[in-house]
């Protein structure tokens, strides 16, 4: 297939962009127009950032509107809830029935999705799936019984509103008795990404040039380093391979700090959000990744973090130096700071920027801020999986293995292009396998690669975190206390492939974007296994609404209960689902623009 030339895009001056980022403190508006007020002042014309108000009880009133904000020295309009970024933290109690009245003051429809919350599907807040949305000027009343505990969050599921500031935290306390996780003090640490650009314009740029925001391009210096390490033939073969596949080993994130400013509790790194403590206290940090497109690698230099909860579910405590928090995941950790200041450092996976805050015993104290780690390129294993074998559709123009040289690429020799696929069900336990729209539709214009021998390990921290000298959390470390909720084995198995075409910037499941797909059907009450195979070179945080996803270990044992599962490049994961929630539910990649580009399905439980 002939490659269609892409239009030439002129990039603005990057250093000036970074300079402007350094001017803004939180959302403060630096001597600009008099109608733009300081962000933390909560004036009627300004957006409050830095500290979200906590609302407690069973009755809540939330108003969605546009309010001005400034993170970079340039005033912009944000989508806010009750005038703040983040939105107010909602504190509920297990067993209570909560009523939330949401009023829309925007000029367009809006919605709120209660991420990870078990509730009737009509209350899930996904326009076109569970309800019609909230029209301008109207109020929608959400009402449901709270059936869980832990740390969660909420956000818009309408248009581009989540990217423009519409997200907040949810804390659910146990119904009776004390929380088994003991702490003297706690803070929500909500991470996010902000762009001054219109999100639709960002999306359009990626559709025209998928690496528009990627400044970690391979250079001549990198090539000569590969020659020195691996020899000329291997280095040239590796470069030729990537070029033939039209893929980039440094394409770790679709969007970088070129346009993003990374926020911690609505505050820029210069603004330095600060949480105070008394020396000797146990401090609980409730980390929430509310970013639209950013994976954050979080550490607190000088402090160990003991992970006690993942996606709202208590886990056996595990102590680490660092963790990667995928988009829409939550992790609760316990730290025991001494009488000194500590930097909470959350660098983006592509290492182009970071969010930063401080834990300190006294106001005004700071600690050294680490430099971001050096970005690492994707490996052959990230592309080809366990056996370095892959299938590449004819349209990529990929030649056979003979054209690719050696250097670990011989596994490509067995590729074929007949659209058939191996059955990777290593532990199907007699469950019937249902391949959803996969065998014939995965090849096509929406797919530029397929992995036939995916890896199944859960102990890989991911690109950029391997062998970095720090103890990094992996899914293999996580074990939900109490085991699985349902002891039944699966009655059947559903397999879906995570697919995409970077040239076209299309994302899909089994090669079908949402508009071309049909719903996935679960039978009410059944226990089923879901198999996800990532045929792309990006990590996808997959979120199934309304039901828990119980991740399995590679040998089929229960591992951890989650509402979002990160599927790494060339990886195969399996999880069990009990279809105990009647209705229509969304199932999608939580990378915001991947969802909008088509990596989305409807699930019908009936």
Structure confidence by residue, pLDDT tens digits, 37-47: 333 323 334 78
Domain end call among 156, 181, 206: 181
Domain boundary residue, one of 146, 181, 216: 181
Tens-digit pLDDT profile for residues 264-311: 999 999 999 999 999 999 999 999 999 999 999 999 999 999 999 999
Q: Considering 181, 196, 230, which residue would you say is the last residue of a domain? A: 181
Candidates 309, 284, 288; CA nearest to 149 is 309
Contacts of 142 (CB under 8 A, 6+ apart): 98, 99, 100, 101, 102, 112, 114, 123, 125
* Alpha-carbon dihedral 51, 57, 58, 60, rounded to 10 degrees: -40
Share of the chain above pLDDT 90, in %: 70
Cβ atoms of 514 and 480 closer than 8 Å = no
Would 457 be classed as within a structural domain? Answer: yes
* Number of neighbouring beta carbons within 10 Å of residue 391: 24
Q: Residue 22's domain spans which residues?
A: 14-181
Answer yes or no: is 266 within a domain.
no
User: Prior bond to 405 cis, omega within 30?
Assistant: no
- Residues 485, 192 contacting (CB under 8 angstroms): no
Does residue 78 sit within a domain?
yes
Q: What is the pLDDT of residue 395?
A: 40
Measure the CA–CA gap between 324 and 335, rounded to whole angstroms. 17
Q: The dihedral of CA 318, 319, 320, 325: what is its sign? A: positive
CATH number of residue 539's parent domain: 2.60.40.420
pLDDT greater than 60 at residue 434: no
> Encoding tokens for residue 329?
């995941």
Burial of 401 (0-12, 13-18, 19+ CB in 10 A): middle
CA distance 329 to 566: 9
pLDDT of residue 252: 82
Number of domains in the chain: 2
Q: Which of 80-89, 468-477, 498-507, 549-558 has the lowest mean pLDDT?
A: 498-507
Per the domain annotation, does 319 fall within a domain?
A: no
Structure tokens that stand for 467 in this block: 């062998």
The predicted model gives 171-180 an average pLDDT of 92
User: Nearest to residue 136, comparing CAs of 104, 158, 164?
Assistant: 104
Domain assignment of residue 355, yes or no:
no
In a domain, 90, yes or no: yes
Within a domain: 233:
no
Name the one residue in this structure whose structure tokens are 């939900």. Answer: 480
Task: Supply the pLDDT for residue 219.
Answer: 53
| Assigned domain for 9 exists | no
pTM of the model: 0.84
pLDDT band at 390 (very low <50, low <70, confident <90, very high): very low
């Amino acid at each position: 297939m002939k490659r269609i030339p892409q239009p030439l895009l002129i990039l603005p001056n990057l250093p000036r962009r970074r300079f402007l980022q350094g001017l803004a403190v939180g959302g403060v508006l630096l001597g600009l127009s008099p109608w733009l007020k300081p962000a933390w002042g909560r004036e009627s014309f300004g957006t409050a950032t830095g500290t979200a108000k906590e609302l407690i009880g069973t009755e809540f009133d939330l108003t969605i509107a546009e309010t001005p904000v400034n993170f970079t020295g340039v005033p912009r309009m944000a989508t806010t809830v009750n005038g703040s970024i983040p939105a107010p933290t909602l504190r509920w109690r297990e067993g209570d029935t909560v009523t939330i009245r949401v009023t829309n003051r925007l000029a367009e429809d809006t919605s709120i999705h209660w991420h990870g919350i078990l509730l009737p599907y009509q209350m899930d807040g996904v326009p076109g799936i569970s309800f019609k949305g909230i029209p301008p000027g109207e109020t929608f009343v959400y009402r449901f019984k709270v059936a869980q505990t832990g740390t969660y969050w909420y956000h818009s599921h309408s248009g581009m509103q989540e990217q423009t500031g519409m997200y907040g935290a949810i804390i659910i306390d146990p119904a009776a008795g004390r929380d088994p996780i003991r702490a003297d003090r706690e803070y929500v640490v909500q991470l996010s990404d902000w762009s001054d650009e219109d999100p639709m314009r960002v999306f359009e740029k990626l559709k025209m040039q998928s690496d528009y925001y990627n400044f970690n391009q391979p250079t001549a210096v990198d090539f000569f380093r590969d020659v020195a390490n691996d020899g000329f033939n291997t280095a040239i073969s590796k470069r030729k391979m990537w070029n033939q596949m039209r893929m980039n080993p440094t394409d770790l994130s679709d969007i970088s700090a070129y346009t993003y400013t990374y926020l911690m509790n609505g505050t820029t790194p210069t603004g330095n959000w600060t949480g105070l403590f008394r020396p000797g206290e146990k401090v609980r940090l409730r980390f929430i990744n509310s970013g639209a497109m950013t994976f954050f690698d979080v550490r607190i230099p000088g402090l160990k973090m003991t992970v006690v909860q993942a996606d709202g579910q208590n886990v056996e405590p595990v102590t680490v130096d660092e963790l990667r928090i995928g988009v829409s995941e939550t992790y609760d950790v316990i730290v025991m700071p001494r009488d000194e200041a500590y930097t909470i450092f959350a660098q983006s996976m592509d290492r182009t920027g970071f969010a930063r805050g401080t834990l300190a015993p006294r106001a005004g104290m700071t600690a050294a801020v680490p430099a971001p780690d050096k970005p690492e390129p994707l490996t052959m294993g990230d592309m080809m999986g366990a056996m370095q074998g892959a299938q590449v559709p004819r349209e990529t123009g990929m030649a056979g293995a003979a054209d690719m040289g050696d250097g670990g690429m011989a596994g490509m020799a067995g590729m074929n292009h007949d659209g058939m696929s191996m059955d990777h069900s290593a532990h199907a336990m007699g469950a019937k396998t249902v391949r959803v729209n996969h065998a014939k539709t995965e090849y096509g214009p929406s797919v530029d690669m397929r992995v036939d021998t995916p890896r199944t390990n859960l102990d890989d921290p991911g690109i950029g975190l391997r062998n970095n000298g720090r103890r990094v959390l992996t899914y293999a470390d996580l074990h939900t206390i109490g085991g699985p909720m349902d002891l039944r084995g699966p009655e059947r198995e559903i397999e879906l492939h995570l697919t995409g075409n970077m040239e076209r910037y299309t994302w899909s499941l089994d090669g079908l974007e949402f508009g071309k797909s049909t719903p996935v059907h679960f039978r009410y009450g059944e226990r089923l296994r879901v198999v996800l195979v990532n045929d792309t070179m990006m990590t996808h945080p997959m979120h199934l609404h309304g039901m828990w996803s119980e991740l399995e270990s590679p040998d089929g044992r229960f591992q951890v209960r989650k509402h979002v599962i990160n599927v790494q490049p060339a990886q195969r994961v399996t999880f069990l689902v009990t279809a105990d929630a009647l209705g229509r539910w969304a199932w999608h990649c939580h990378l915001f623009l991947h969802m909008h580009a088509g990596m989305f399905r409807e699930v019908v439980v009936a």
